[in-house]
Structure 1
């Protein structure tokens, strides 16, 4: 009887340890996601921002996940650099952005409101750039509904 009780206590201990490990593992896998609304003037500004994101990724600070850890909601003249027709002149920054997008590190969204006011057609953007109707509204939605952290 005592041995059965001891075995039960040991098994219960293993079960509890396994359950706690599973909870800790699930908490470790929870990815913190960030969103920023950015109006950039130049391609050099975008290149600098992408360089920082790439450095954070290679340092292990930005994980490679399905559903990128960093979402950039862009508006401003820099969107012209992400147009298909401007690829040849913007190749380094477009390739870097496409790479970060393909790796699941950064998601790029463009503000349709800004685009409409500035003659940028949605279909002219690179395929890795999605559009949203209004940039500030998308940021608020991601923070409110999906728990993103605004920075």
Structure 2
């Protein structure tokens, strides 16, 4: 589980590329469980349906990793509300949680995830 404040598309792309490389190198498999990204910042706009054409490569990479069960992307509803983003604008593979920081705490304390 990554609690990383991603500010740019390049930040998210680098993180997704690293996850993909771990898969290619055999250091990450579907049996290991998913990497969880809890997004609560401006990079979330990269995953909006209206922005797909501009972010096609990034969205497709995230969707592919998600489809393989290697990645879970979660969006903070609190951040979305404060920034005029509604759930219908998100790509289908993005799940919404009520509060990003609370979700990180829940994953670590109740689900045994390791934050990095």
Measured against the shorter chain, the TM-score band is over 0.9
Tell me the residue number matched to 2:79.
114
Tell me the residue number matched to 1:53.
19
Give, in whole Å, the separation in 1 of the partners of 2:105 and 2:86.
24
Question: Which one has a larger percent helix, Structure 1 or Structure 2?
Answer: 1
TM-score, normalised to structure 2, is 0.94
Q: CA deviation at 1:143?
A: 1.2
Asked if 1:41 corresponds to 2:44, the answer is no
Q: Give the gaps of 5 or more residues in structure 1.
A: 1-34
Q: Give the gaps of 5 or more residues in structure 2.
A: none
Is the alpha carbon distance of 1:126 and 1:68 closer, same or farther for their aligned partners in structure 2, counting shifts above 3 Å? Answer: farther
Q: Secondary structure at the match of 1:138?
A: helix
2:35 to 50, 67, 70: 70
> Any runs of at least 4 consecutive aligned residues in structure 1 with deviations exceeding 2 A, and if so which?
none
TM-score, normalised to structure 1, is 0.73
Tell me the residue number matched to 1:24.
none
Q: Give the number of equivalent residue pairs.
A: 116
Give, in whole Å, the separation in 2 of the partners of 1:51 and 1:39.
17
Tell me the residue number matched to 2:51.
86
Q: CA deviation at 1:135?
A: 0.7
Tell me the residue number matched to 2:94.
129
Give the number of the structure with larger relative contact order, counting CA–CA contacts within 8 Å between residues 6 or more apart.
2
Q: Is the 8 A contact 1:113 1:133 kept in 2?
A: yes
